[in-house]
Amino acid sequence: MRLDVQITVLHPDKSPAAGVTLRVMLGTAADWQSPSAGEEMVTGEDGTVRCTLPVVLASQRREVATNFVARLMASRETTRQVQLGVVMEYAGRAWLSAITVDRRANGASLRLDPMRVYGRASDGRFTDDVPLHDGTWHKRLPNGKVAPLPGFAVTSATLDPESAAADNAAWRLRVTLQQWEPYVAPVLAATGAGTAH
């Protein structure tokens, strides 16, 4: 089975972000957290990179509900699922973000699992799990400052077959990432009584 992947990167003002370097891999790829896994690409003038990758779409039994009441009554349904890994730089370091997209039987694409973010461990692999607290990821940088991560928001993600055939061997994944403003480390105000003249 093959997956046609298109990732569009936008500036904070939603204009196309050309010339952005990113590495793309699928979670099904061998050793996907290796720093050399996947394919390194640079966004074009339209802010987009494209590649075609072999994939095995997972079938997952998931509870799909849109609110608390629906969740209480939700039955489990089978979704097709893929995990996309994207390495991009933010706050002076590279981070691997794992984005999981599910496709429901009715054709809707959902992100049922929170994104996961990894920094480089001492062996260079992206296995340093960045904790998620209250919906945001934060990591202490070598300079001692704590930075919010990963430097972008996923504004859309869809997983669709190329045709309605039951045995469709070609699928499309479309993901849009909107960059945050560049990270600026907070500056601590100087304290003291000052110097007498």
pLDDT tens-digit profile, the chain (197 residues):
889 999 999 999 999 999 999 999 998 778 999 999 999 999 999 999 999 988 888 787 766 655 455 444 455 678 889 999 999 999 999 999 999 999 988 888 888 789 999 999 999 999 999 999 888 999 998 888 899 999 999 999 999 998 776 567 799 999 999 999 999 887 655 545 444 44
The full set of domain ranges for the chain reads: 2-179
Which residue, chain included where needed, has tokens 């461990």?
A: 121
The strand pair at 170-179 and 2-10 is best described as parallel
What are the beta bridge partners of residue 137? Answer: 132, 149
d(CA 87, CA 115) in angstroms, rounded, equals 13
Specify the pTM: 0.84
- DSSP conformation letters of 71-115: HHHPPEEEEEEEEEEEEEEETTEEEEEEEEEEE-TTS-EE--S--
